Each structure stands twice: as structure tokens, then as C-alpha cells.
Amino acid sequence: MEIEERVWSELSFDYYSTDYNIRYSYRPDRGWSEMQLSEDEFLPVPLAAACLHYGSSLFEGLKAFRGADGKIRIFRLEDTVERLQSSARRLCLPVPTRMMIIEACTEVVRKNLRHLPPYGTGAAMYLRPVEIGTSTSFGVTPSANALFVVFCSPVGPYFKEGIRPIQVAVDREQDRVSANGTGDVKIGANYAASLLPYQHAHDMGFQSVLFLDPKEHKYLDECVAANFFAIRDGKYITPKSSTILPSITNKSLKQLALDMGLEVEERQIPVEELATFEECGCCGTGAIIAPISEIYDMQTEKSYFYGREVGPVSLALYHKLQDIQYGLAEDIHGWNTIVEE
């Protein structure tokens, strides 16, 4: 879609091509290259590259917003840096420096300003940092060479008609990750493993899957691409597990819940506790919060219902976070990075 034809408020949460992306390459004999500005939407990847055969790839997702005051804010960039570096270390990939990541993310926004949705449209700019291993080998070894890329796309709101509840299925027979595996880092392989159970749930009319812990299958873990949280008796309750990705959105919501006077509990949550919650939701960069109206256990065929409307606490948290992202509320926790134009 040409930029001149775009109606910002009608964008879906999908990929739209932009003008430029930022690239760095790594080789052991010279380290990281200088920043490269590219107009190419394709990557030069060898046939035998580690990323194509052995899952040597990681990514991140974050958003930039045009605020009510006209300023551009990237939300929680510093936290994204830390998580990306953790993922790189876990995959034995060269670790991009903090300044590389920050400069790539801010520069990709500057170079694609005409694709940044205006304030008031409900749309934002989604940034996608990616690192892939590019060494060639038939042996399963860490990739010494790598390519680090940051590209962006304007995206519409996750819920085009306003925040609304979704239906989720519990799958006791499929695991998102292994018990002592890579669940706590953001790598492509974790998402690949969730595709089959997601498709199964989608075919049954559900929008996501809620996985249980892979070791005992007794406790709630997380959804396909989002953390889980619940509200009960003035408490914000979210699972604690070594196999859960430390969600930056969940981290933000926990702090906002404390600011609102709620008690925060991060602990193991037995699946039977689903029957006791007042509100439930998934949280992540895309939707911020996707409230849950029903959770259906595919194996026991038991359903848990939380109402057809968004719960009051979930709705308040959603608006408080959005207000910070758009500069409508004071950023008292220093979560935003201002991009100078």
C-alpha cells in the first residue's frame, strides 16, 4: 500500500513495507561493522547458514508513538536491549552492544518518519530487531558470524474496534518449550513450537492457547505470544516460572498495578485456580492487554468464564499504560526514550 493511500486509522496489525532498515554484520576477525542503512527488504543469507538449519535466530518487538505533544517516544527501549542481549548469549550468538541496539532503533524511526502514524489514529510504529547466525556449516555448532537488523512497520491497533475480550484454550498435551530449555528468551524456535497447538485451538474457535508448565503440567505458564495475568481481591496475579519469557509489558503492568494500590503476586498458579479469578488477560507489545472472557480446558472439557465485557482493573491498566506511551500521563518511571527528529 502506498503511503499516500493509507488511512492510518484503518491499518491492521500487520507488516507494511517502509523505506529503510538498519544493519550490522559480525565476523570474529573484525567484530561488528559500522551501521549500514539499507533500502533492501531482503537479506543476503547463505544456503548453509545456521539460522536456516539450526534455529540460530532471535528477535524483539517494541513500538514508537507520536505523542499528543508531537514528540516521538519509544517505549521501554532499555529493557528491550537487556532482553535481546540475554537471548543472544543463550544462542551463543555475538552480542550486540547497548549503543548499537539503541542507535539502530532510534535511527530506523528517524529514517522512516513518513511512515510514523500521527497521534490520534490509534496506530503506532512497530520496531522489529532481529539477529541471525550466518556461519555456514553442516555441523551443529554456534554461529561465529551474524547479521543484526532493525526494521519497522506502521501498525494499526490490535483491536480495531476497541479493546475486547478473547477466548483462550488450555492445552495440557502440548508444550511451548521444554522444562529446562529456552522459554525465558525471545527466539524463533519457541514460537515455531507453539504453531501446531495454536492452529488446533484456532480451528476450535479460540484466539490463543494457554500452556501449562512443561515439567509437571500443573501450573499456568503463558500464552502463545503473551504473558498471563489475573485479578482477584485487589491483587494482580501472574505466573512465576523459569520457562516464561519475561514480558516487558507484564513488567510495566505490575508496576502500574502497584501504583494503583493493588498487591502484586508473582507465583506458581495451579490450573484449578482459574475458577477463582475475577478478571484474566494476556499481555504483550501487540495488544498491551487482551482480556479473556473464557478459558476452555481442551482435555477436561471444563470452561471458566469471566464476563463478556472488559474488567474494570484490566481496562484501567490498559489506559494507564497507553497514556504513558502517548505522553498523556507523566512518565514517572522513565520508560520512554524520546527520539530527536
Q: Over the stretch 23-65, which tens digit does the pLDDT of each residue have?
A: 999 999 999 999 999 999 999 999 999 999 999 999 999 999 9
Which pLDDT belongs to residue 2?
Answer: 52
Q: For 194-231, write each residue's pLDDT tens digit.
A: 999 999 999 999 999 999 999 999 999 999 999 999 99
Which pLDDT belongs to residue 163?
Answer: 87
Q: What's the whole-number average pLDDT of the chain?
A: 95
Could you tell me if 171 and 124 lie in one domain?
no
Could you tell me if 170 and 220 lie in one domain?
yes
Which pLDDT belongs to residue 65?
Answer: 98
Could you tell me if 180 and 94 lie in one domain?
no
Q: How far apart are CA 169 and CA 253, in angstroms?
A: 23
Q: How far apart are CA 215 and CA 232, in angstroms?
A: 26
Q: How far is CA 243 from the centre of its chain?
A: 16
Tell which of 155, 188, 211 closes a domain. 155
Could you tell me the pLDDT band of residue 9, with boundaries at 50, 70 and 90? confident
Residue with cell string 502497584: 258
Could you tell me if 133 and 246 lie in one domain?
no
Residue 21 inside a domain? The answer is yes
Could you tell me the pLDDT band of residue 157, with boundaries at 50, 70 and 90? confident
Residue 272 inside a domain? The answer is yes
Neighbours of 148 (CB within 10 A): 26
Checking 98-103 for CB contacts under 8 A at 24+ apart, the result is 100/24, 100/32, 100/35, 100/148, 101/77, 101/129, 101/150, 102/77, 102/78, 102/337, 103/35
The full DSSP string for 40-73 is -SS----TTBHHHHS--EEE--EEEEE-TTS-EE
Whether 5 has a pLDDT exceeding 90, the answer reads: no
Q: How far apart are CA 204 and CA 290, in angstroms?
A: 19
Could you tell me if 75 and 105 lie in one domain?
yes
Can you give the residue range of the structural domain that contains 203?
Answer: 166-325
Closest by Cα among 338, 322, 293, 327 to 158: 322
Q: For 307-332, write each residue's pLDDT tens digit.
A: 999 999 999 999 999 999 999 999 99
* Total tally of structural domains belonging to the chain: 2
Could you tell me the pLDDT band of residue 172, with boundaries at 50, 70 and 90? very high
Could you tell me if 141 and 235 lie in one domain?
no
| Burial readout 112-131 (b: 16 or more C-beta within 10 A, e: otherwise) | beebbbebebbbbbbbbbbb
Could you tell me if 84 and 27 lie in one domain?
yes
Residue 161 inside a domain? The answer is no
Tell which of 103, 120, 155 closes a domain. 155
Residue 148 inside a domain? The answer is yes
Residue 331 inside a domain? The answer is no
Which CATH number does the domain housing residue 239 bear? Answer: 3.20.10.10
Whether 339 has a pLDDT exceeding 80, the answer reads: yes
Which pLDDT belongs to residue 194?
Answer: 95
Could you tell me if 18 and 147 lie in one domain?
yes
Which CATH number does the domain housing residue 107 bear? Answer: 3.30.470.10
Could you tell me if 150 and 7 lie in one domain?
yes
Q: How far apart are CA 5 and CA 251, in angstroms?
A: 37
Q: What phi and psi, each to the nearest 5 degrees, are found at residue 330? A: -65, 135
Could you tell me if 146 and 285 lie in one domain?
no
Could you tell me if 14 and 117 lie in one domain?
yes
Tell which of 114, 133, 155 closes a domain. 155
Residue 115 inside a domain? The answer is yes
Residue 339 inside a domain? The answer is no
Residue with cell string 528477535: 59
Residue 160 inside a domain? The answer is no
> With pLDDT > 90 as the criterion, what percentage of the chain qualifies?
94
> With pLDDT > 70 as the criterion, what percentage of the chain qualifies?
98
Over residues 143-161, mean pLDDT: 92
Cβ 90 vs Cβ 56: under 8 Å: no
SS3 for 312?
helix
Could you tell me the pLDDT band of residue 3, with boundaries at 50, 70 and 90? low
Could you tell me if 178 and 75 lie in one domain?
no
